[in-house]
Amino acid sequence: MLSNFDNVAVYDSSVTSSEQVGEGPTKVGTRGRGTSKVMGRHFDWTVEVTEFDPPRRMVSRSVEGKLDFTLTFTLEPADGGTRVTQRIDAASGLGGIFGKLADPLVERAQGRTVRANLETLAEWMAEHPQP
């Protein structure tokens, strides 16, 4: 579910389109591409999966695009369900694209977006349980 690039735009409101590059199941080396909208600006990106340990962890790193980032999803059992943690590490902060002074504003806005996206993801996963 999280490893299917076609699903990213379903649960991430900042992603306007996403897809896997090439065929086959997700594994280390698989690439995905898409477009994100951050603070009114559109950015195309391509990421490559650098760690893949289903169902516990997936890490992807940007390999093309204006934003230099690493995205980590960690899943662990919690309170009879699953806790999903998403971490975004950006080289200069997402504000680097908007100017250094914008870093704190962009980080707060992205933090709100990520929290909302995780709530959407939880609802979506409950509606689409995986075997």
Which whole number is the average pLDDT over 46-58? Answer: 96
pLDDT, residue 68, reads: 85
Nearest Cα neighbor of 73 from 83, 53, 59 is 59
pLDDT, residue 115, reads: 73
> At CA 75, angle to CA 104 and CA 127, rounded to 5?
100
Q: What is the pTM of this model?
A: 0.75
Ramachandran bin of 50, using left for φ above 0, alpha for ψ from -120 to 50, beta for the remaining angles: alpha
Which whole number is the average pLDDT over 66-93? Answer: 84
Residue 12's domain comprises 5-127
User: Which one has a higher pLDDT value, 123 or 7?
Assistant: 7
Domains in the chain: how many in total? 1
Other beta carbons less than 10 A from residue 121's beta carbon: 19
Segment holding 108, helix H or strand E: helix 103-127
Does residue 28 have a pLDDT over 90? yes
pLDDT, residue 38, reads: 75
At 95, the pLDDT band (50, 70, 90 cuts) reads very low
Nearest Cα neighbor of 70 from 84, 59, 85 is 59
At 131, the pLDDT band (50, 70, 90 cuts) reads low
Which whole number is the average pLDDT over 68-81? Answer: 90
User: Which one has a higher pLDDT value, 21 or 2?
Assistant: 21
Segment holding 37, helix H or strand E: strand 31-38
Does residue 1 have a pLDDT over 90? no
Mean pLDDT of the residues in the chain:
82
Q: What is the CATH number of the domain that holds 77?
A: 3.30.530.20
